Amino acid sequence: MQAADKNEEKGKMKNRRVNVRTPEVMPHVQTKVEKHYRSRIVEKFRQSGGKYTIETTTVILAKEFGFCYGVERAIDLAYATRQVFPNKNIYLIGEIIHNPEVNKRLQKMGIMNLAGDNPDATINDLTKDDIVIVPAFGAEITLMDQIDRKGCQIVDTTCGDVMRVWKRVRNYAKKDFTAIIHGKADHEETRATASRATDGLGGQYLVILTIEDCEYVCNYIREGGIKENFLQKFRDAYSPEFDPDKHLNKIGVANQTTMLKGETEEIQKKLYEAIKDRDEELAKDNFQFFDTICGATQERQDALYEMLKLEMDMLLVVGGYNSSNTTHLVEIGEEKVPSFFIRNANCLESFEQIVHFDLEKKIEKTTYSGNFSNSSRPITVGITAGASCPNNLIEETILRIFEIRGHDISELNSA
């Protein structure tokens, strides 16, 4: 992002932003992060081509998995904040990333929560001596304005890919295009992105999640409809002044950076076809789009598609249940092989009892009736993880698989 764009985003808060990523601080921070989240065994897997076999059990890792650069940066900055301000109150807006293990670690470091179900404080409790960390997803403009008025110092860990989407929806608003955002309306990133469309620009936005949502919007673009029904269907997913009879004339597509790339591309195509059917030769003047899928998200999806070409008995996807990019990896896996969304190795009670998250029912459950605990039967298990999952959790999952199978892991554990 160019300096001018950064200054526009920072606004009045630019003088209160604090840089904690200094040469004096970072070596100590990186040593601590390495200790908490890195894995020698995962590195050993990488050196062996992502595949390791002990007796009758083979474990395969996707080529790309786990922490991306943006997540690593956010964690580094959170650790650095505590290092630089050892005696100050430090508050985090929600979760730094969508991984419970990482967030618990920050809580143990005394970094308190400013949002969520059980916040340690509210914005009203803040003082000018407090430090506020903005998570990797970013935060809504109205929330940032409230924090600004409190005079707090701010450590901003917002991912650069997210800020790139913000720039795109701002440009849509400046040109009087409504931002159609492919994402989850209640997700922190999408709320932050949507707020950039309206902030002082008079822009409009509409959030759509599914292909079905898209087709409904397309039909309205082509044929019109009953406005009240439209607004009811998408309640809580559009800007306060949004009117489908006015604000679907010129549209620009953006997305939550962690969505399925293929689904976003299909939505773009369908919306353009609807605009073209309605406007004919003027379609290109009334439609814009830009590829705003996070590069790391795309790499992890592509790597899983490649791994699924191999023969596997099951796939384990490791990560936080509220992680959007991890959820999409599970969806991809389920198309090809029995797939289980697990938080960590403790979910593997056995191969007959796997505690995992059911995407359809939105609940954690214990299911599966396999016969893989018998070590005489060959088995191949694939593992992948979203961009918010640390390598130490992947290591624990690998070791748990071999433990369940009753194999000697001394060689794998050796240097």
Q: Token pair for residue 165? A: 């989407």
Give the fold, CATH level 3, of 37-67+296-413.
Cobalt-precorrin-4 Transmethylase; domain 1 (3.40.1010)
Longest dimension (CA), the chain: 68
Q: Tell whether the model's pLDDT for residue 10 goes beyond 60.
A: no
> CA distances (Å), 206 to each of 4, 179, 187, in order?
27, 6, 14
Residue predicted with more confidence, 118 or 141: 141
User: Which is the catalytic residue, given 72, 189, 263, 396?
Assistant: 189
pLDDT, tens only, 257-314? 999 888 999 999 999 999 999 999 999 999 999 877 788 889 999 999 999 999 999 9
Q: Tell whether the model's pLDDT for residue 234 goes beyond 50.
A: yes
Number of H helices, E strands in the chain: 16, 15
Asked: is 161-293 a CATH 3.40.1010.20 domain? The reply is yes
pLDDT band at 373 (very low <50, low <70, confident <90, very high): low
CA gap 414, 4 in Å, rounded: 51
Q: How far apart are the first and last CA of the chain?
A: 42
- Domain ranges within the chain, ordered by starting residue: 37-67+296-413, 69-159, 161-293
- The answer for residues whose C-beta is within 8 angstroms of residue 28's C-beta and 6 or more apart is 83
Q: Give the pLDDT score at 15.
A: 54
Q: Tell whether the model's pLDDT for residue 253 goes beyond 50.
A: yes
Question: Picking from 21-25, 170-174, 372-376, which range would have the lowest pLDDT averaged per residue?
Answer: 372-376
Highest mean pLDDT among 7-11, 138-142, 410-414: 138-142
Q: Give the pLDDT score at 293.
A: 76
3-state secondary structure of 361: coil
Q: Give the pLDDT score at 414.
A: 77
Q: What is the mean pLDDT of residues 223-250?
A: 97
pLDDT, tens only, 120-154? 889 999 999 999 999 999 999 999 999 999 999 99
Q: What is the mean pLDDT of residues 35-51?
A: 91
Q: Give the pLDDT score at 295.
A: 84
37-67+296-413 against 69-159: fold identical: no
Q: Tell whether the model's pLDDT for residue 401 goes beyond 80.
A: yes
Q: Give the pLDDT score at 3.
A: 41
Q: Is 349 one of the catalytic residues? A: no
pLDDT band at 119 (very low <50, low <70, confident <90, very high): confident
71 φ/ψ sector (left φ>0, alpha ψ -120 to 50, else beta): alpha
3-state secondary structure of 92: strand
pLDDT, tens only, 206-231? 999 999 999 999 999 999 999 999 99
pLDDT, tens only, 317-345? 999 999 999 999 999 999 999 999 999 99
- C-beta atoms surrounding 386 within 10 Å: 30
CA gap 136, 207 in Å, rounded: 20
Q: Give the pLDDT score at 397.
A: 97
Radius of gyration in angstroms for the set of CA atoms belonging to the chain, rounded to a whole number? 23
- Identify the architecture of domain 69-159 in CATH: 3-Layer(aba) Sandwich (3.40)
| Mean pLDDT (the chain, rounded) | 91
CA-nearest of 133, 151, 163, 160 to 9 is: 163
**Burial annotation 105-136 (CB, 10 A radius, 16+ → b, else e):** bbeeeebbbbbeeebeeebeebeeebbbbbbb
pLDDT band at 2 (very low <50, low <70, confident <90, very high): very low
Q: Give the pLDDT score at 368.
A: 66
Question: Considering the chain, what percentage of its residues have pLDDT values greater than 70?
Answer: 94
pLDDT band at 13 (very low <50, low <70, confident <90, very high): low
Helices 26-37/69-84 angle, 10° precision: 120
- C-beta atoms surrounding 335 within 10 Å: 9
